[in-house]
Amino acid sequence: MLAASRNFPANAAKGLADETLQRALAKAQTGFPLRRRLAVERLPEFEALREEGRAIKDHTLAHLDFYLELFEQKVVMAGGRVHWARTADEARALVLQICRSVGARIVAKGKSMIAEEIGLNEHLAAHGMTPVETDLGEYIIQLRREPPSHIIAPAIHLVKEQIADTFRAEHRNLARERPLDEARQLCDEAREVLRPRFLAADVGVTGANFLVAETGSSIIVTNEGNGDLAQTLPRVHIVLASLEKLVPSFEDAATLLRLLARSATGQEFSSYTTVSTGPRREGDLDGPEQYHVVLLDNGRSALLGGEFQDMLRCIRCAACLNHCPVYTAVGGHAYGWVYPGPMGAVLTPSLVGIAEAGHLPNASTFCGRCESVCPMKIPLPKMMRHWREREFAAGLAPRTVRTGLRVWAFLARRPALYHALAEIASRALGWMGGERGRFRSLPLAAGWTQVRDMPAPEGRSFHSLWAERRHKEPR
Amino acid sequence: MTPKEEILSGIRRALGRDPVDAATAAELRARLAAHRRNLIPARAAALDRRGRVDLFVAMAEEVQATVARIPSLAAVPDAVARYLSGENLPAELVAAPDPGLDAIPWQTRPLLRIRRGRAEASDAASLSPAFAAIAETGTLMLISGRGTPTTLNFLPDTHIVVLHEEQIVAAYEDAWDRLRAHAAASGGLPRTVNFITGPSRTADIEQRVELGAHGPRRLHILLVSGAENGENSENG
Amino acid sequence: MMAERPARVALFVTCLVDLFRPTIGFAAIKLLEEAGCTVAVPRAQTCCGQPAYNSGDRADAKAIARAVVEAFADYDYVVVPSGSCAGMIRVHYPQLFADDPALLPRVRALAERTYELVSFLVDVRGLERVTARWDRLVTYHDACSGLRELGVKEQPRRLLAAVAGLSLKELPGAELCCGFGGTFCVKYPAISDKMVGDKAADIAATGAGAVLAGDLGCLLNIAGKLCRQGRPIEVRHVAEVLADMTDGAPPIGASR
């Protein structure tokens, strides 16, 4: 997917002005955080599990090469194949090659952010295949030719009416007068339309929430059952996963699974958590004949050992998105790429470059809510600050900001001068504020006064008043 | 360098070290072989059979699975017939050809049309045996195999699962142990292990939960209390 | 039970309090003295360095921080009427100097002794009540840094409960960011406006006649929005109320 993150301000403004989007986001804003909180309150061990989750991932990352090689051995032992992709291009080519090798025409897709990242659908379509999204949210946005706006609820930016309009426009062979006012009706229609596609698919492509080194298994966590149909009915199952999805053992996966659903949707466990190991066995009545895992690097290994390594602990629960006041204000499309919200603000610059994605780590108040809900204890604001440091060091910060900071730092290290200027400024602004006690507009502060008043200073600086007071009262 | 070699050496370079040495590799392998458990929530620790059953039923019902308790496999045809007619569904289903279900006396309900095999798109209801269940979250564990095709769990609108009380374990880790034992006895892991917690659902439309997105809309569990255990079937 | 030993406290005024609202500084001093502290205000203080730090300008942040370490070296405690500035010193200074073994011990020593005002009064001095009166229905905004970096949550509520005539109605979304975020409000004004608009609406919906918080940045932001909307809700720093100084200065942004 091509990045458009540099347009963040304009896209954010569009999102803020979009009443329908704001209606949709308001629903999401109350739903997910409340459900997560209830699930967490119900599990006294949640905090301890966060710490264990962090330790498991850190351990895995510190030995990632070992676990990857072991994983491959086990996949092969189970009758599958592993393909290594350094870049998005290589991953696309590998998937295409596998699909071609079986003469695939229809490719059923379970929800996969990696597939979005590498632009798989466009690639397959360009080579004469038909990729069919089967996750309801992904299917809806595929029909609308939009990117996902959330990493687990791709259509969260839409209201019912928009989805109904899309279904009417795209499912043209169904009765015109059919009612589509209720979510139930929309679900039923999607199920009905997608069922034949599952059955006709030659290849099923899924992501993986976890890859288990111990057994060469892949794990997907879903609620709909589409991922399971996509990986059971077709002849070929391709798993698309980035390197950091590895965990050592089933026991480690269990710990992370205890964190994932609770953090994502507030469920105790998802409806379907599926462990896949190799192709169908001899005597099985169903299941794919081939099992392939495409391991994607695409910049992950470069994050190891550096100040962004912690980002590789992410298990894609989206808790940070759901709790972020910026994400819930502007929606996911404003971020301009696959990964929105706080995790996107940290990950996107590392994958598409800080020049393209600089706005993302800058559009944060560092309120810290994301870090407080991250099940893997990823220090998101700290890493956003690291991106700002890199921008600053590269001279990418705007001139006005750099000059302003220089002046401020100059003054801050000269207390006498600083105090003299502060006294002058507070007197001047205090006087200008007059009886009203505030400014409706202030030169150099248009960003502020466009939408709010600026309270006037009291008229004397604290340090001047304190100095006077000390003069009067010898201690 | 092959892509694999390049990726692995990139990892090592970033981590500032050479490939893992023999001693470390042995340690890591030992860690895996020990199957060391991490923290298990108190909810799932040290439950006796009664406790496990009660917790499982409570958690499963919370996520809109329905549970009917029956004394033995002999009661399955009645329970199935009653359930299907209660839901106003046709009296037919496809059942797993698993030997663990062979003892079900379908002939006691001759109007029930039973086919043994994998599911097809036209099947409205299916019946499959559980491999285990996890009380911690009311989760069923079903595995693929000669007698337990995975399509039974996903294609039909209604999924009925036969679960024996003694198959219910407390925590996921206990379930993994059973799976490993089974794998050791049968030459490897199954292609698919499904952990199923309630029926299929989605909240993709305005965060309103709807059941039956692509998988079954109904998940009905026949909980068998009898002395019979699952060891008659291949899937233990 | 208040701690008996008099403590030598240095007040870190903060640049916003110094420039915009000295009343808060005096309220802090009053509270600290009543809690048995001797309070000094080191003259050599200016800013904690947070604007530079959050803009990615580590060099300037460190330069400013060194000056702070110097100026506040000799006191039992450093107390700050702001969660974000206290957090900067307590949490972020050690990170800033993590790779500076020469200076790190002194930085750590300062960090360990630095507290946000209300947290200091309750957690360190053991203050349980104040003698103040303010007949108002108030609501309270939890400033982000104080809340998440320093655990300031119960302490202001405990002390406000002791203010005669004051009743507190909890603000739905009290823990949601108000949209100030230092430079964020001028870099991304539209998003900031949405956030402060939501905050103002939540405050108004409580029916409270006043809103309090522990950070002047948030308060300027919130007061500015309420004033622009013509909502007659008083905005004050919690220290002013606890120190019984509400009939001194007018509320933030209000007519004089």
Residue C56 at interface with chain A, using a CB cutoff of 8 Å: yes
Q: Are residues B24 and B128 in the same domain?
A: no
In a domain, B213, yes or no: yes
DSSP, collapsed to helix, strand or coil, labels residue A342 as: helix
> Which site among B206, B219, B234 would you substitute to test the A interface, given the most A Cβ atoms closer than 10 Å to its Cβ?
B206
Q: What does each C-alpha distance from A145 to A213, A465, B139 come to in angstroms?
A: 36, 63, 36
Inter-chain contact A232–B150, Cβ cutoff 8 Å?
yes
Per-residue pLDDT, C2? 54
How far is A100 from B118, CA to CA, in rounded Å? 28
Domain borders along chain A are: 43-302, 318-393, 399-472
DSSP, collapsed to helix, strand or coil, labels residue B77 as: helix
Q: Which residues in chain B have their CB less than 8 angstroms from residue A32's CB?
A: 207
Could you tell me the strand order of the sheet in which C7-11 lies?
C37-40, C7-11, C77-80, C114-116
The residue behind tokens 């409270």 is C208
* C124/chain A closest Cα distance in angstroms: 25
Question: Does an interface of 3+ CB pairs under 8 Å exist between A and C?
Answer: yes
> Which site among B134, B214, B218 would you substitute to test the A interface, given the most A Cβ atoms closer than 10 Å to its Cβ?
B214
Token pair for A160? 């019912």
Q: Are residues B137 and B190 in the same domain?
A: yes
Residue C69 at interface with chain A, using a CB cutoff of 8 Å: no
Inter-chain contact A297–B12, Cβ cutoff 8 Å?
no
In a domain, C248, yes or no: no
> Which site among A54, A251, A257 would you substitute to test the B interface, given the most B Cβ atoms closer than 10 Å to its Cβ?
A251
From C46, C179, C189, residue closest to A447, measured CB to CB: C189
Q: Could you say which of C123, C151, C167 is where a domain stops?
A: C123
Inter-chain contact C22–A461, Cβ cutoff 8 Å?
yes
- Phi and psi at A23, nearest 5°, equal -60, -45
Query: For chain B, what is the radius of gyration of the CA atoms?
Result: 21
Q: Are residues C117 and C134 in the same domain?
A: no
Inter-chain contact A190–B215, Cβ cutoff 8 Å?
no
Inter-chain contact C196–A452, Cβ cutoff 8 Å?
yes
Q: Where are the alpha helices (DSSP H) in A363-453?
A: 369-373, 380-393, 399-412, 415-433, 446-449
Per-residue pLDDT, A475? 53
A263-294 tens-digit pLDDT: 999 999 999 999 999 999 999 999 999 999 99
Q: Are residues B25 and B56 in the same domain?
A: no
Averaged pLDDT, A43-60: 98
- Phi and psi at A211, nearest 5°, equal -115, 130
**Cβ of A227: how many Cβ atoms within 10 Å?**
31
The residue behind tokens 């304009």 is A10
Per-residue pLDDT, C3? 55
In a domain, B186, yes or no: yes
Query: For chain A, what is the radius of gyration of the CA atoms?
Result: 26
* B198/chain A closest Cα distance in angstroms: 6
How far is A104 from A95, CA to CA, in rounded Å? 11
DSSP, collapsed to helix, strand or coil, labels residue C29 as: helix
* Sequence letter at residue A301: S
Per-residue pLDDT, B207? 83
Cβ distance B118 to B93 under 8 Å? no
Range of the domain at C42: 7-123
A420-456 tens-digit pLDDT: 999 999 999 999 988 889 998 888 788 899 899 999 9
Inter-chain contact A66–B28, Cβ cutoff 8 Å?
yes
Query: Which CATH code, of 3.40.50.1820, 3.40.50.10420, 3.90.1200.10, 3.55.50.30, is assigned to A43-302?
Result: 3.40.50.10420
In a domain, B223, yes or no: yes
Range of the domain at B28: 1-34
C partners (3+ CB pairs within 8 A) are A
A partners (3+ CB pairs within 8 A) are B, C
How many structural domains is chain C composed of?
2
Q: Are residues B3 and B51 in the same domain?
A: no
Question: Does an interface of 3+ CB pairs under 8 Å exist between C and B?
Answer: no
Give exposure, A289-316, as e/b (b: 16+ Cβ within 10 Å). Answer: ebbbbbbbbbbbbbbbbeebbbbbbbbb
* Sequence letter at residue B181: A
How far is A85 from A293, CA to CA, in rounded Å? 10
**pLDDT at residue A472 above 90?**
no
Q: Which residues in chain A have their CB less than 8 angstroms from residue C151's CB?
A: none
Token pair for C95? 């990170």
Across the strands, what pairs with B125? B158
How far is A376 from A284, CA to CA, in rounded Å? 38
How far is B105 from B121, CA to CA, in rounded Å? 26
Inter-chain contact A365–C253, Cβ cutoff 8 Å?
no
Q: Are residues B101 and B168 in the same domain?
A: yes
DSSP per-residue string spanning B164-175: EGGGEESSHHHH
* CATH code of the domain in which C104 resides: 3.40.50
Q: Are residues B70 and B135 in the same domain?
A: yes
Q: Are residues B86 and B5 in the same domain?
A: no
Q: Indicate left, alpha or beta for B223 from its phi (over 0: left) and psi (-120 to 50: alpha).
A: beta
Q: Where are the alpha helices (DSSP H) in A225-340?
A: 226-232, 250-264, 319-323, 327-330
Q: Are residues B91 and B201 in the same domain?
A: yes
A411: closest chain C residue by CA: C46
**Cβ of B157: how many Cβ atoms within 10 Å?**
18
Residue C182 at interface with chain A, using a CB cutoff of 8 Å: yes
Across the strands, what pairs with A284? none
In a domain, B40, yes or no: no
Question: Does an interface of 3+ CB pairs under 8 Å exist between A and B?
Answer: yes
* CATH code of the domain in which B206 resides: 3.40.50.10420
How far is C179 from C221, CA to CA, in rounded Å? 8
How far is C172 from C205, CA to CA, in rounded Å? 9
Inter-chain contact A413–C63, Cβ cutoff 8 Å?
yes
Token pair for B98? 């698993």
How far is C212 from C162, CA to CA, in rounded Å? 15
How far is A342 from A171, CA to CA, in rounded Å? 36
* B12/chain A closest Cα distance in angstroms: 7
Q: Which residues contact A64 (CB under 8 A, 6 or more apart)?
A: A243, A244, A246, A301, A304, B11, B15
**pLDDT at residue B228 above 60?**
no
Inter-chain contact A84–B39, Cβ cutoff 8 Å?
no
Q: Which of B167, B49, B177 is nearest to A254 (CA)?
A: B177
From A365, A388, A389, residue closest to C181, measured CB to CB: A365
In a domain, B117, yes or no: yes
**pLDDT at residue A254 above 90?**
yes
Tell me the pLDDT band of B231, cut-offs 50, 70 and 90: very low
In a domain, C247, yes or no: no
Determine the Cα angle at B52 with ends B51 and B54, to 5°.
Answer: 65
> Which site among C69, C92, C177 would you substitute to test the A interface, given the most A Cβ atoms closer than 10 Å to its Cβ?
C177
How far is B16 from A306, CA to CA, in rounded Å? 10
In a domain, B27, yes or no: yes
How many structural domains is chain B composed of?
2
In a domain, C218, yes or no: yes
Q: Are residues B75 and B169 in the same domain?
A: yes
A396: closest chain C residue by CA: C56
Inter-chain contact C20–A371, Cβ cutoff 8 Å?
no
Inter-chain contact C47–A412, Cβ cutoff 8 Å?
yes
Inter-chain contact A228–B7, Cβ cutoff 8 Å?
no
Averaged pLDDT, B165-170: 97
B62: closest chain A residue by CA: A268
Beta-sheet pairing, A130-133 with A106-109: parallel
Per-residue pLDDT, A445? 82
How far is C199 from C223, CA to CA, in rounded Å? 11
In a domain, B68, yes or no: yes
Across the strands, what pairs with C87? none
Cβ distance A133 to A106 under 8 Å? no
Q: Which of C193, C19, C83 is nearest to A453 (CA)?
A: C193
- Phi and psi at A161, nearest 5°, equal -65, -35
Residue A390 at interface with chain C, using a CB cutoff of 8 Å: yes
Q: Which of C118, C200, C204, C114 is nearest to C153 (CA)?
A: C118
Cβ distance A162 to B204 under 8 Å? no
From A387, A389, A460, residue closest to C22, measured CB to CB: A460
Distance of alpha carbon A345 from the chain centroid: 8
B partners (3+ CB pairs within 8 A) are A
Per-residue pLDDT, C179? 98
- Which residue positions in chain C have pLDDT lower than 50? 1
SS3 letters across C48-86: CCHHHHHCCCHHHHHHHHHHHHHHCCCCCEEEECCHHHH
Q: Are residues B62 and B22 in the same domain?
A: no
From A85, A155, A286, residue closest to B149, measured CB to CB: A286
Q: Are residues B83 and B2 in the same domain?
A: no
The residue behind tokens 């090469």 is A65
> Which site among B2, B5, B11 would you substitute to test the A interface, given the most A Cβ atoms closer than 10 Å to its Cβ?
B11
A144-174 tens-digit pLDDT: 999 999 999 999 999 999 999 999 999 999 9
Q: Which residues in chain B have their CB less than 8 angstroms from residue A183's CB?
A: 205-206, 208, 210
SS3 letters across B20-56: CCHHHHHHHHHHHHCCCCCCCCHHHCCCCHHHHHHHH
Inter-chain contact C21–A457, Cβ cutoff 8 Å?
yes
**pLDDT at residue A57 above 80?**
yes
Averaged pLDDT, B147-157: 97
Determine the Cα angle at A53 with ends A48 and A59, to 5°.
Answer: 130
Residue A325 at interface with chain C, using a CB cutoff of 8 Å: yes
The residue behind tokens 């679960």 is B163
Beta-sheet pairing, A210-212 with A217-222: antiparallel
Inter-chain contact C188–A9, Cβ cutoff 8 Å?
yes
Cβ distance B187 to B170 under 8 Å? no
Token pair for B208? 């309103």
* CATH code of the domain in which C137 resides: 3.40.50.11810
Cβ distance A427 to A459 under 8 Å? yes
Across the strands, what pairs with C7? C37
Cβ distance B152 to B96 under 8 Å? yes
Inter-chain contact B146–A284, Cβ cutoff 8 Å?
yes
Q: Are residues C111 and C133 in the same domain?
A: no
Inter-chain contact B7–A84, Cβ cutoff 8 Å?
yes
- ipTM given for this complex: 0.96
**pLDDT at residue A203 above 50?**
yes
Inter-chain contact A363–C13, Cβ cutoff 8 Å?
no
Q: Are residues B174 and B59 in the same domain?
A: yes
Q: How much is the pTM?
A: 0.96
Q: Are residues C115 and C143 in the same domain?
A: no
Inter-chain contact A426–C20, Cβ cutoff 8 Å?
yes
Average pLDDT, chain A: 95
In a domain, C252, yes or no: no
* B138/chain A closest Cα distance in angstroms: 9
Cβ distance C110 to C77 under 8 Å? no
Could you tell me the strand order of the sheet in which C210-213 lies?
C164-168, C133-140, C210-213, C234-237
- Phi and psi at B25, nearest 5°, equal -60, -40
In a domain, C255, yes or no: no
Q: Which of A312, A214, A339, A316 is nearest to A257 (CA)?
A: A316
Burial (Cβ within 10 Å: 0-12, 13-18, ≥19) of residue A433: buried
How far is A44 from A253, CA to CA, in rounded Å? 19
How far is C186 from C217, CA to CA, in rounded Å? 13
> Which site among A45, A260, A284 would you substitute to test the B interface, given the most B Cβ atoms closer than 10 Å to its Cβ?
A284
In a domain, C254, yes or no: no
Strands (E) in chain C, as ranges, are: 7-11, 37-40, 77-80, 114-116, 133-140, 164-168, 210-213, 234-237
Per-residue pLDDT, B232? 40
From B32, B39, B138, residue closest to A49, measured CB to CB: B39
